[in-house]
Chain A
Amino acid sequence: MGNLLDIELKQETLSAPTPTKEAPVFLSGAQAMMECLLAESVDNIFGYPGGAIMPTYDALYDYIDRIKHTLVRHEQGAGHAAQGYARVSGRTGVCLVTSGPGGTNLITPIADAIIDCTPLVCIVGQVKSTLLGTDAFQETDMIGVTTPVCKWNYQITDPDEVPEIMAKAFFIAKSGKPGPVVIDFARDAQAAKMTKPFVYKKVEKMVSYSPRVVPKQDQIEKAAELINKAKRPYILFGHGVLIADAVQELLDFVEKTDIPCASTLLGLSAMPNNHPNYMGWLGMHGMYSPNVMTDECDVLIAIGMRFDDRVTGDSTKFVKQARIVHIEIDPSEVDKIKKAEAPVIGDAKEALKMLMPLVKKGDFTGWKNEFRKLDVKEYDKVTLRDLSQEGKIKMAEVVALLSDKTNGEACIVVDVGQHQMVTARYYQFKKPNSYIASGGLGTMGFAIPASFGAKVGAPDREIVGIIGDGCFQMTIQELGTIAQSGLAVKMIILNNNFLGMVRQWQQLFFDNRYSFVELQNPDFITIAKGFGIDGHTCNERENLSDSLDKMLASKKAYLLEVIVEKEENVFPMVPAGTSVSEIRLE
């Protein structure tokens, strides 16, 4: 027995640290992640903790003075909030969620962000790398699941990878055609220490990814030639103008050439609504003249847009008489839907700058008047009816009144459906980045989280969410986030007790067979108050103005519910799959 004791003592002396110089202590993977966020000037993130992301949340605890974290109520809310943040501020939105359900709840915002080109970096926890592929608790193959819907994804299993991968992630998310990047962060890589000092080098180019920003001169010259020869040129601009921050360049270009222009849904607010060359927006529920005149132009100048089917209707019949100049950063979008005679691959801002000296000064008064003539028809048939002030309150009058009261300067976050289209029609935008909508994916439930995300991204702006009663209930839990973070978000529910857009289609195309579109709604105001958010309901037209004033005057978050006409339809309308010429005004 004595022997045994000897041995133990001996071992103890052996394992005692040798008194040489101290081994350097490096950052853990999670700490490195925080340093990466700081290096990318990220000061706000949206997230929800959970098992596999706990080491990162633990590291975040030491950084809360520099990185503000908004705790959402559901991961989908984190994603849409990051989108709202990114869209209003032009920065990259960051979300932090856990593995398994945390990650899968984020899929909808990721799919939304890829189709609407929103830069996101989604950091998703993952089980320990030793457990990968074993159906471990809360393990989901996030790489497999997100591959079809994200711009890039990567699984980090070694803390040493963190700086390099995050630098790539931020570069990929923001550059070229922006999009969501998913970082699948294994729990052991979060917890383990790096084996070398943390060094962060921003990525500005990659061998396998180098989007062209400055267009080729010969493409610009060809485009300019086509534009200069045009007798009836027409500009369609899209979200790309806002993403490229090319608002001023577009304005200069339009003012020099005097070409009439129209916006896509997501291009809204890139051009002030009251500009004499701005003809409105086009698309399925867009305005009459911008839609119809696509059949009359001889040269179409498409800037930062991708000929979505909601813009073109039947694409084989869309602008088939015109020659097309297509300014687009993503080469795979050129010729995808419409063949472009003069494609310009590059950033909208750079392209417009380069085109400026090559295009002639123009005067298209006569051509512009043709648009204006059609506007009269739309005004008589649609606008007058929408703003008639007869019967129940109509969505249009709420939006028009809000537009007046905010002087067209608020940032409007909309959900998906009739209210989204009505807002696009009746809000008179004056400032860029003021119409935040889920355009491509059409995600109901987008607006509540996106509006507080937008408020975080632009705290000085008035943010008003305009939301349908159906949409509101899809992410209603995020009222808790708004209350807890004290964000002064204003929300208007346009309540018609219906899934209005689906109901409209059922009425027009399915023979009035209202299949599951009527809602039994809760008392929204009581719910809001339960969350600690003040609000009231407006049922009568004579109270509408005061109601909006009360909401706008509130220094805190506020919910205004407006009971609107139950069975109102949105016109004009280009029925799906038909050509723009078949647009209906009633």
Chain B
Amino acid sequence: MTTYTICVFTENSIGLLNKITIIFTRRRINIESLTVSETERKGISRFTIVIKHEKREEVEKLVRQIRKIIEVLAVFGYLNEDIVYNEIALFKISTPLNGKSVDVETINKVYKAWVVYWGLDYVVIEKTGTETEIFEFFKYIKPHGIIEFVRSGRVAVGKTPKGLIEYLPEEITEWEYYL
């Protein structure tokens, strides 16, 4: 299984999420994570969808089908090496009065994570990084007792010097898909 990151640029309109995800459903592809936000250009949304798949051709077909949706402006499919990507995770860690205290220095220096909230008998730690890094930290912090853990979807930018948004037209030009 290879991990693919699919970036979809769209007009910002109601129901578009459904129109996009329904194609994954039809092709029986499970979505590992999904993030949507507005881009640096107003009115243009960016979907970052992570999937795992065995066949590159099938992913190419998927990309082309997503491109076909009216209101979709551009679609890019990436392998991990083509992008810089991260996720963010929040850990709510139990710190009872006479329990083991958290080692903030290790957390900061080794794991590049930060305590963002101090509760009475718990702390909230924020960790950004790749999925692997987050799970390494997860293993480290687990003995303290994880009350809650939440991880965001992936956000990614391409490694090309151009901004992806530059591929979007000021006016009608031809669309290319990249994979």
Contacts and interface: CB of A to CB of B under 8 A. Distances in A.
A172 B68 contact: no
A147 B19 contact: yes
Given A144-B18, A208-B11, A152 B70 contact: yes
Contact of B172 (A153, A207, A335): A207
A207 B73 contact: yes
Given A147-B15, A208-B11, A210-B172, A332 B64 contact: yes
A172 B172 contact: no
Contact of B171 (A153, A207, A331): A207
A147 B61 contact: no
A208 B18 contact: no
Contacts of A207: 11, 73, 169, 171-172
Chain B, interface SS category: mixed
A332 B71 contact: no
A332 B61 contact: yes
A147 B175 CA distance: 23
Choose among B10, B57, B70, B171 the residue with the greatest number of A CB atoms under 10 Å from its CB.
B70
Contacts of A16: none
Interface in A7-26: none
Q: Chain B, interface size: which category?
A: 20 to 34
Contacts of A206: 70, 172
A151 B70 contact: yes
A147 B70 CA distance: 11
Given A205-B172, A207-B171, A332 B67 contact: yes
Contacts of B26: 148
Interface residues of A, number: 21
A155 B171 CA distance: 26
Nearest to A205: B172
Contact of A147 (B11, B22, B67): B22
Interface string A207-220: 11110100000000
Contact of B174 (A147, A172, A212, A330): A212
B72 interface: yes
Contacts of A172: 70
B10 A208 contact: yes
Contacts of B174: 210, 212
Nearest to A153: B15
Nearest to B64: A332
Given A207-B169, A332-B64, A143 B71 contact: no
B61 A336 contact: yes
Given A144-B18, A147-B19, A208-B11, A330 B68 contact: yes
Interface in A108-136: none
Nearest to B62: A332
Nearest to A148: B22
Contacts of A147: 15, 18-19, 22
Nearest to B19: A147
Choose among A151, A152, A331, A332 the residue with the greatest number of B CB atoms under 10 Å from its CB.
A332
Contacts of B14: 155
Interface in B125-146: none
Given A144-B18, A147-B18, A148-B26, A208 B65 contact: no
Nearest to B61: A336
B166 to A, nearest CB: 15
B49 to A, nearest CB: 17
A33 to B, nearest CB: 20
A228 to B, nearest CB: 27
A51 B104 CA distance: 66
Interface in B1-24: 10-11, 14-15, 18-19, 22
A155 B16 CA distance: 13
A154 B14 CA distance: 9
Contact of A332 (B11, B65, B171): B65
Interface in B104-139: none
Given A148-B22, A336-B61, A208 B15 contact: no
Given A147-B18, A148-B22, A208 B70 contact: yes
Q: Which 4 A-B pairs have the closest CB atoms?
A: A332-B64, A152-B70, A210-B172, A209-B70
Interface of A: 143-144, 147-148, 151-153, 155, 172, 205-210, 212, 330-332, 335-336
Given A207-B172, A332-B68, 13 more contacts: A147-B15, A151-B70, A152-B70, A155-B14, A207-B73, A208-B70, A208-B71, A209-B71, A210-B172, A331-B64, A331-B68, A332-B67, A335-B57
9 contacts: A147-B18, A208-B10, A208-B70, A208-B71, A209-B70, A210-B175, A212-B174, A331-B68, A332-B65
